[in-house]
Amino acid sequence: MPRFILLEHTGAPDDPAGRHFDLLLEGGEACRTWRLAEIPSPAGPAVAAVAIAPHRLAWLDHLAGEVSSGRGFARRIDGGTYEPALEGSIEGAPRERIHVRLVGDRSTRSLLLARGTEGWTARIDPEKGASHQI
């Protein structure tokens, strides 16, 4: 099964808030990656998710440490495997909706990433919910 990781990233020079979360989904030779201002909660609204450049697969094994070239510090919040819940594989062309079931070390959740007119959002599927809040 393909893997995922959720990283807390602090001190990135291009992040005015000083802290965000990077969600990486393994897909082929790289990870599709989104920057989240916060982690979506099961009862909460969708959060903004900015699609950023694909990341190397090596990030899937990252625990904690400095990011190269003075780009801050990243530490693992959760990670594990995922399976497509509806739309199939995330490899290939970008999709408007990506629905995955994340089975992590700390939580299991059904996550919906959707691209709208104002960009991507991420939310916990209200019908599938989550177990073990992060």
pTM: 0.84
Structure tokens at 62: 């990252």
pLDDT of residue 88: 45
Domain boundaries in the chain? 3-131
In the chain, pLDDT over 70 holds for what percent of residues?
Answer: 85
- Separation CA 79–CA 76 (nearest Å): 7
- Separation CA 63–CA 13 (nearest Å): 21
CA atoms within 13 A of residue 74's CA, in its CB half-sphere: 22
Q: Give the pairing type, strands 64-66 and 73-84.
A: antiparallel
Tokens 């509806």 belong to residue: 86
Mean pLDDT over 95-103 rounds to: 87
Tokens 């393909």 belong to residue: 2
pLDDT digits (tens, 9 = 90+) for 32-88: 999 999 999 888 999 999 999 999 999 899 888 778 777 789 999 999 999 986 554
pLDDT exceeds cutoff 50 at 125? yes
